[in-house]
Amino acid sequence: MVGFYEAVVTTSDGVYRAYPVSDDRVCVFEDGVAGIADYINLNELDEALRAPEYLVQLLIWWVYEHARGLQIETAVLRWRGQSAQ
């Protein structure tokens, strides 16, 4: 899954993106803000967390936990293309 997909969540205050960077780690970015907003470490016991389909739900959870009070307007999974690895 590394590098192939991105989750994009548009909120009432900004756009957040999540990219898998390894089998057990996801980076979260906020559009217009330099650097990485956070890392999400996936539970090694739950294989479902690694599925691309779960990436959007994972980012929605992150927004609700770390950017409280924002209204989610859209949430999509996008294909990013081939990984350089």
Q: Between 67 and 48, where is the model more confident? A: 67
Say which amino acid occupies 52.
P
Identify the pLDDT of residue 37. Answer: 94
Is pLDDT above 70 for 83? no
Beta bridge partners of 16: 9, 30
What's this model's pTM, rounded to 2 decimal places? 0.85
Where is average pLDDT lowest: 1-15, 25-39, 57-71? 1-15
Give the model confidence (pLDDT) of 10-35 as tens digits: 999 999 999 998 888 999 999 999 99
What distance in Å separates the CA atoms of residue 10 and residue 17, rounded to the nearest whole number? 9
